[in-house]
A and B are shown apart, each in its own frame.
Chain A
Amino acid sequence: MDVNVGIKKMVRSLVIGVFMGMLYYLVYVVIFPTLFSKILPNTEIPKLPGLYIPVFILFTALGLANSLIREHPISLPLKLLSKILGALVMLVLLNFGIIEGEIALNGVLVEYNMDISPLLYTLILFSLLIFP
């Protein structure tokens, strides 16, 4: 009976851990960068195929470890590490908030360089506070 309860608890922790890792990946790597690229003109997320799989694995591993040892004090820095990693990946994908491109103004082609990092840092700050 106790073994069954233990297995159930372990499986539950595994599922929660994988789910949390996927949630972090979705929010920081997929949702936030895509939102920014859609709402701002002429911005594209750089294609970094070498980054996606390791980041996904790392997020899932951190989520899993965090869920399995959530009673232990070390789970707190692990949780923080997931959030910081997410923020870092998002910053890399969005070029640390620097958007560059060309736009026609008054018939002249103009190069622009816009710094939206204050918005990104505010978003990261609130996501660190809000996320579980």
Chain B
Amino acid sequence: MNNLLKLGIILAAFLILSAMLAPLLIFAHELISKPDLISFKVSYEQLNETSIKLVFNITYKGIIKLDDVKLEVLNKTLYLGNMQSNTTISKHITLNMNSIPKHLEILMSLRIAGIYSLKLRIRGV
């Protein structure tokens, strides 16, 4: 009985760890092999003399689902939600012309398969 219990725990450990490791390995592999896994485009549109609209287009081409995708730009947070394979999400923020630095710094945070938190800091956009 004791051996049977141990065998059961080993089997459960193998299954649970495999299920947890698989999305991480697939995502890590895609991150290395696909340079355009998460592509990022920033465009702007001048609204008037003092305001500017920054448009962010984020395209994800991976297999693993990304949860709670968020962007932080100039102390403003944009919630993009969940991203499936081959999805493009477009969001915009309106900023004062004077508050825009020459090079933007964007912090992207997400959860890989809803388990692992990942933060990407993109400088010089």
Contact = CB atoms under 8 A, between A and B. Distances in A.
Given A40-B24, A105-B35, A130-B10, A111 B121 contact: yes
Nearest to A43: B28
A106 B40 contact: yes
Interface string B7-42: 001101100110011001100100110011111100
Contact of B35 (A106, A112, A116, A129): A106
A108 to B, nearest CB: 6
A11 interface: no
A105 B116 contact: no
A104 B123 CA distance: 12
Interface residues on chain B, size class: 20 to 34
B118 interface: yes
B116 A122 contact: no
Interface residues of A, number: 24
A109 B103 CA distance: 14
A122 B28 contact: no
B122 interface: yes
Contact of B31 (A103, A119, A129): A103
B116 to A, nearest CB: 6
Interface in A91-106: 103-106
A105 B120 contact: yes
Contacts of B6: 130
B37 A116 contact: no
A112 B10 CA distance: 33
B17 A119 contact: yes
Contact of A110 (B12, B13, B122): B122
B115 A118 contact: yes
Given A108-B122, A112-B120, A123 B36 contact: no
Interface of A: 39-41, 103-116, 118-119, 122-123, 126, 129-130
